[in-house]
Structure 1
Amino acid sequence: MTVEVSVVLPAYNEEATIEGTIGTTLDTLGSFLPEDTFEVIVAEDGCDDRTPEIAARFAGRDHRVRHVHSDERLGRGGALVRAFREADGETLVYFDTDLATDMHHLEELVESVRSGEYDVATGSRWIPGEVADRPRKRGVPSRGFNTMTRLMLGSDLRDHQCGFKAFDREALFSLLDDVEDQHWFWDTEVLVRAQREGYRINEFPVRWTPKGDTKVDLVRDVFGMGSQILRCWYEFSVKPRATPRATMAAGTLLVLVATLLMTQYIDFGQVLEEMAQADPTYVAVAAGVYLLSWPLRGARYRDILAELGYRESARFLTGAVFISQTGNLVFPARAGDAVRAYIVKARRGIPYPSGFASLAVERVFDLLTITVLAGTVLVGLAASGLADPSAVGGVSGDLESAESGRTALYVAAFVGVTTLCLVSLIVASARAETNLVRRAVGRVSSDSYADYVAGVIERFVGDVQQVASSRRAFARVGASSVAIWTLDVVTALLVFTAFDVSLSPVVLVAVGFFAVSVGNLAKVLPLTPGGVGLYEGAFTLIVVAFTPVPSAVVVGAAVLDHAVKNLVTLAGGVVSTLLLNVSLTTAVEQSRDATPEAEVPEYDD
């Protein structure tokens, strides 16, 4: 006869119970299904006890039993999916091997789907009608999890995690490609997606009695499942609306709102007046200094690619960097990053994976350099005793301003120390044989989403490791990064000096380093093209907190500093597109579907 029902038993180290569970399952199925119309599959998930041996022995003597073995842990969801794909039945069932759910409910579970009345059936411990003995340590987290799932994901079900479910094969397989979790959240995600697709779901009360200790880690796995709820909420509610145009519009709106709020405290007429009085000589020198940083960017990019196995000229790569940064100024969501990967692929045949890896390495060194420069300067100031009120207050004798400056400096010093510690961890991880960050994430959560995040970090660190593995290359790229961002700060200091501010050189340099660094970190958020508004806001907040310089002067200096840098970038980008014969709009269009794993056709002149 044809197998109609496949029951999967997910098993991880179940040597004490698996034989009895298989026997009970066969007897119960045989009580309401015709002989040979059902099968029992033991989805053994990388066990390190006698479970595989017992399952294989049972399968050898009973043709209705099958054993699906895995050498490594797939996670509960991963083990179920693998077994379901190998199953023969049109009705697919699974339940926990501890038989916590009373087996007299099995017929209702199976027939709900087998009859064609429902597409999915699931037991519930929270619907009144049966007895579900939930200890407090399980009941409280379960109620919280199910409440969050209903509120954030729009589910109508009461219990998403009861290990007692059945699916129509066609319905389940239509959902699997979109289900990302492979561990404890798997069945919750399946249920939520099934509701969103309009499938018919039968949730019915079951008698449930806990058996032994749960394999769910109430810290790591509950935390992980909470992150999965957030991930699904983002995918269902935010991502469809977070188009590049919407992101740019939202970012621009935020900047406008912030600007309107600032008008309550800042006279923008005064800002324009201050900008008009700025010394043009200093501004011109600042532009020249900033221009000097671009050949260094090209040389640094050359060194990074060399460590990845590609030899290119610094001149060509300087042009590629100019074009990509121009793309980031003109287009939202840092579209220029993909443009650079596209240019080196199209013009020099460097594969996308290597192009994106080189970008990742560059970003790592940028972030490390920015944070180390700012943190080192501020920690040095705090340690040297220059954080007294008179030093922080510059020429002002106002006690309130001095105290505010001291507080700001202490906070900044703390941030600097924290940053240096994090930087040390990343560098140590890049130099180590194992990923220290993955190990730390794993201690917080073993959930598959946490594993995905750890994987991203691992690739991130792995890219750095390509360069960090060579001390000479690491030192060379690090030194060029320090030079690049030092010139960036010097540019800002020259623009600030153009406004004839009365600050001691020590305070000017210290505050300038920190303000420019924080402003550049704010630009990491791809909310507006080129970070316009984000840089100015962060720069202004830092300088006003540290010094008695009027806010109108600070805003004017921040706007002029960013404008100088953006104009140099745009001019270099235009020249580079002409020299390399690249259409920026075409490059952006062609690179939209580019990913670190993708390959696309060559650029067509």
Structure 2
Amino acid sequence: MSSRSVEVSVVLPAYNEASTIRNTVETTLATLAEFLPADAFEVIVAEDGCDDATPEIADEMAAADDRVRHFHSDERLGRGGALERAFQAADGDTLVYFDTDLATDMRHLEELVESIRTEGYDVATGSRWMSGREADRPAKRGVPSRVFNGLARLFLRSDVRDHQCGFKAFDRDALQELMPAVQDQHWFWDTEVLVKAQRRGLRVKEFAVDWEPKGDTKVDLVRDVFGMGSQILRTWWELSVSPRVNRRVGIVAGTLLTLVAVLLMPLYLDPSEVVAKMANANATLVAASAVVYVLSWPLRGIRYRDILAEIGYDSDVGFLTGAIFISQTGNLVFPARAGDAVRAYVVKARRKVPYPSGFASLAVERVFDLLTITMLAGSVLVALVATGNATELLSVVVGDGGTGAGDAGQAGRTAVYLAGVVGALAIGSVLAIFASARSDGNRIEAALSRVSSDSYVSMVAGVLEQFVGDIQRVANDERAFASIAASSVVIWSLDVVTAVVVMRAFGAFDVLALPTLLGVAFFAVSVGNLAKVLPLTPGGVGLYEGAFTLLVVGLTPAPITGEVALAVAVVDHFVKNVVTVLGGLGSMLVLNVSLTEAVAESAESPETAESEMVNQ
């Protein structure tokens, strides 16, 4: 504590305020002196890694007036981080802060201070949006502010109208209680501290202030989208959902949701159609195809173990195989491949793999999958061209298809075009990864800094840089790259063999010699899987069948009709989806993982991911 009997500490968060900081400090001192004894207050400049003359000016003022203190930081801490650091060192029992641009009329400072000092409130905040005193703000400021505050009130159940007004005061004991619970260290700090104060039953006063916008503002992609938006979701989950969800409830909900998704499959694939088509197939061979497909799953676990080991995280094959089952089930249930986020959550929750590394491992796996099936499809295509057998295939793809399977022809052409695009992107991704791995490093923060100067930049850049760095480590190790590539070939070969066994289950395919059968299967399955990479339908249903049917008809003799080819595609895809769902349900029960909880928690904010990354 200071030797002076300081009652009120005012903190001024400052970043590159050289043109205004002197006037702000002088105005603050003069205003405080109007209603407080001369030795009862202090002003702290919480300078947040400035690169202009703000530190020198603050030092000069602190040397000239013992009521002024300067806290310097060599790097950006963020608005919340700079405030917390200064509040911890402040001497007063009433802690105040406001923006250094003095947008809020300083005649309200006495009411702000006395709300805590004499009225007994725990938290006090000015408001630009209280009825009858609404600030006259330009649309580019007012509309985003109203939207943000509306979302905060809706999702976080806050009674405050204006969470981000930079004009707040706290009782020291109350703030000491709140700060450990506040996770954000940037612009969302204001909102989080108000919301959590209300949840803890603290007395919060919001009063109207006169406010005049100073300077210019603009929507900041990093701050407003990655920062503020994700923090509302993170806080909503923390306060409103997580306390009500236990393991048993989550597992039951996830299981029911998966079963509902299976029951809704008739919207995309009629079970009666599957049963009818299977009536013409050898049931023993169909069952054998499922066994072949099951064999590929432990290999997926081994490959994923190798990927994680390369970026520094060890785990057992059984657990990782279960995690993959769960994530692939999620991809069948949830839109836009949200199952991938489920796996990132599972390995984070059970194996302490931070989100950036979890998503990097998924990216590596996806690249190997795409590269492998692109290579398999490309090899068959090259062989067709070399033997002069590609003409009929080209006419089927470009022409009317002649599949004899209704809409499968058009779906097949769409799928083939999509497969070509995805294959090209896969090759481009591999080239980019190799080029990145051999560069001096990534320049993500520099790139983000071109579009944003906010303190969230370093946080977001840190997460992305770890993500890129993990991918680079795998690409740099030639032995690991070769091993993972080899296991990918075996995995997708088993996927093709599954389809071959289903084809054999339909007697018409006995007319094909084994080499031709394998060539047709490798091409049709590979292109079908490339087509379903884009999440246009649940599990790729429709695109896979269309591509498979179109290509089988185009590559085989006349006895192989479009109707038979479509039957094979439907049964093949059905067998693989059933194995995936059953494996996912079993893994959720064995690993005690909630699918719904995983999806929700995988939406955790980049900032929290960064803090975990730092603590590893």
Please indicate, yes or no, whether the TM-score normalized by the shorter chain is above 0.5. Answer: yes
Alpha-carbon distance in structure 1 between the residues aligned to 2:223 and 2:497: 49
Contact kept, 8 Å, 2:10 with 2:44, in 1: the verdict is yes
Alpha-carbon distance in structure 1 between the residues aligned to 2:575 and 2:502: 9
Contact kept, 8 Å, 1:327 with 1:336, in 2: the verdict is no
Indicate the residue corresponding to 1:370 in structure 2.
369
Q: Which amino acid aligns with 2:367?
A: L
Indicate the residue corresponding to 2:546 in structure 1.
545
Alpha-carbon distance in structure 1 between the residues aligned to 2:300 and 2:591: 26
Q: Which amino acid aligns with 1:280?
A: T
Residue 321 of structure 1, aligned match among 307, 317, 320? 317
Alpha-carbon distance in structure 2 between the residues aligned to 1:282 and 1:158: 62
Indicate the residue corresponding to 2:198 in structure 1.
195
Give CA-to-partner distance per residue, 1:373-423, whole Å, 9 cap, x none: 455677997998856546898762467542332223334434444555556
Q: Structure 1 residue 269: deviation in Å?
A: 5.3
Which SS does the other structure have where 1:106 is aligned?
Answer: helix
Q: Structure 1 residue 131: deviation in Å?
A: 7.3
Indicate the residue corresponding to 1:271 in structure 2.
274
Q: Structure 1 residue 439: deviation in Å?
A: 5.5
Does residue 409 (structure 1) correspond to residue 400 (structure 2)? The answer is no
Q: Structure 1 residue 127: deviation in Å?
A: 2.1
Contact kept, 8 Å, 1:301 with 1:358, in 2: the verdict is no
Indicate the residue corresponding to 2:88 in structure 1.
85
Q: Which amino acid aligns with 2:542?
A: L
Q: Which amino acid aligns with 2:262?
A: T
Indicate the residue corresponding to 1:560 in structure 2.
575
Alpha-carbon distance in structure 2 between the residues aligned to 1:330 and 1:400: 32
Alpha-carbon distance in structure 2 between the residues aligned to 1:452 and 1:262: 42
Alpha-carbon spacing, 1:87–1:476, altered in 2? closer, same or farther (3 Å): same
Does residue 492 (structure 1) correspond to residue 495 (structure 2)? The answer is no
Alpha-carbon distance in structure 2 between the residues aligned to 1:257 and 1:183: 41
Indicate the residue corresponding to 2:169 in structure 1.
166
Alpha-carbon distance in structure 1 between the residues aligned to 2:188 and 2:158: 14
Listed as ranges, the matches of 1:200-215 within 5 Å are 200-214=203-217
Listed as ranges, the matches of 1:375-414 within 5 Å are 386=393, 388-389=395-396, 396-397=403-404, 400-414=407-421
Listed as ranges, the matches of 1:147-166 within 5 Å are 147-166=150-169
Listed as ranges, the matches of 1:169-568 within 5 Å are 169-214=172-217, 218-223=220-225, 224-241=227-244, 243-263=246-266, 268=271, 271-272=274-275, 274-275=277-278, 277-278=281-282, 280=284, 284=288, 287=291, 291=295, 298=302, 301=305, 305=309, 320-322=316-318, 324-326=320-322, 363-374=362-373, 386=393, 388-389=395-396, 396-397=403-404, 400-418=407-425, 421=428, 425=432, 428-435=435-442, 452=459, 454-470=461-477, 472-500=478-506, 508-516=521-529, 538=539, 540-546=541-547, 547=549, 554-561=569-576
Alpha-carbon spacing, 1:378–1:450, altered in 2? closer, same or farther (3 Å): farther
Alpha-carbon distance in structure 1 between the residues aligned to 2:433 and 2:250: 30
Residue 130 of structure 2, aligned match among 120, 124, 127? 127
Alpha-carbon distance in structure 2 between the residues aligned to 1:222 and 1:570: 38
Q: Which amino acid aligns with 2:575?
A: L
Q: Which amino acid aligns with 1:493?
A: A
Indicate the residue corresponding to 1:140 in structure 2.
143
Q: Percent identity?
A: 45
Contact kept, 8 Å, 1:6 with 1:89, in 2: the verdict is yes
Contact kept, 8 Å, 1:324 with 1:336, in 2: the verdict is no
Alpha-carbon spacing, 1:553–1:447, altered in 2? closer, same or farther (3 Å): farther
Q: Which amino acid aligns with 2:317?
A: V
Listed as ranges, the matches of 1:564-583 within 5 Å are none
Contact kept, 8 Å, 2:149 with 2:161, in 1: the verdict is yes
Q: Which amino acid aligns with 2:263?
A: L
Q: Structure 1 residue 165: deviation in Å?
A: 0.8
Q: Structure 1 residue 559: deviation in Å?
A: 4.1
Farther-moved stretch of structure 1 (15-24 vs 242-251): 242-251
Which SS does the other structure have where 2:542 is aligned?
Answer: helix
Which SS does the other structure have where 2:158 is aligned?
Answer: coil
Alpha-carbon distance in structure 2 between the residues aligned to 1:587 and 1:296: 19
Contact kept, 8 Å, 1:515 with 1:538, in 2: the verdict is no
Alpha-carbon spacing, 1:115–1:225, altered in 2? closer, same or farther (3 Å): same
Q: Structure 1 residue 90: deviation in Å?
A: 1.4
Contact kept, 8 Å, 2:344 with 2:358, in 1: the verdict is no
Which SS does the other structure have where 1:118 is aligned?
Answer: coil
Indicate the residue corresponding to 1:527 in structure 2.
none
Contact kept, 8 Å, 1:489 with 1:513, in 2: the verdict is no
Farther-moved stretch of structure 1 (512-521 vs 72-81): 512-521
Alpha-carbon spacing, 1:120–1:428, altered in 2? closer, same or farther (3 Å): farther
Using structure 2 for the length normalisation, give the TM-score.
0.74
Alpha-carbon spacing, 1:394–1:237, altered in 2? closer, same or farther (3 Å): farther
Give CA-to-partner distance per residue, 1:349-393, whole Å, 9 cap, x none: xxx779x99977754432211233455677997998856546898
Indicate the residue corresponding to 2:603 in structure 1.
none
Q: Which amino acid aligns with 1:557?
A: D
Give CA-to-partner distance per residue, 1:182-225, whole Å, 9 cap, x none: 222221221122222222221111122223334x6545433332
Alpha-carbon spacing, 1:295–1:226, altered in 2? closer, same or farther (3 Å): closer
Q: Structure 1 residue 6: deviation in Å?
A: 0.6
Q: Which amino acid aligns with 2:573?
A: A
Contact kept, 8 Å, 1:10 with 1:43, in 2: the verdict is yes
Alpha-carbon distance in structure 2 between the residues aligned to 1:16 and 1:360: 43
Which SS does the other structure have where 1:177 is aligned?
Answer: helix
Alpha-carbon spacing, 1:10–1:362, altered in 2? closer, same or farther (3 Å): closer
Contact kept, 8 Å, 1:121 with 1:201, in 2: the verdict is yes
Give CA-to-partner distance per residue, 1:465-505, whole Å, 9 cap, x none: 333233x2354234224323323422332343244287895
Alpha-carbon distance in structure 2 between the residues aligned to 1:496 and 1:11: 68
Does residue 69 (structure 1) correspond to residue 76 (structure 2)? The answer is no
Q: Which amino acid aligns with 1:221?
A: R
Alpha-carbon distance in structure 1 between the residues aligned to 2:188 and 2:411: 48
Alpha-carbon spacing, 1:341–1:186, altered in 2? closer, same or farther (3 Å): closer
Alpha-carbon spacing, 1:458–1:239, altered in 2? closer, same or farther (3 Å): farther
**Structure 1: which 5+ residue stretches go unaligned?**
311-316, 343-351, 523-533, 574-583, 600-605
Farther-moved stretch of structure 1 (170-179 vs 7-16): 170-179
Contact kept, 8 Å, 1:405 with 1:545, in 2: the verdict is yes
Residue 18 of structure 1, aligned match among 17, 21, 27? 21
Alpha-carbon spacing, 1:240–1:484, altered in 2? closer, same or farther (3 Å): farther
Q: Structure 1 residue 175: deviation in Å?
A: 2.0
Contact kept, 8 Å, 1:44 with 1:69, in 2: the verdict is yes
Alpha-carbon distance in structure 1 between the residues aligned to 2:439 and 2:241: 37
Q: Which amino acid aligns with 2:111?
A: E
Contact kept, 8 Å, 1:378 with 1:412, in 2: the verdict is no
Give CA-to-partner distance per residue, 1:257-288, whole Å, 9 cap, x none: 33333446755356356557436358648746
Contact kept, 8 Å, 1:492 with 1:516, in 2: the verdict is no
Contact kept, 8 Å, 2:398 with 2:413, in 1: the verdict is no
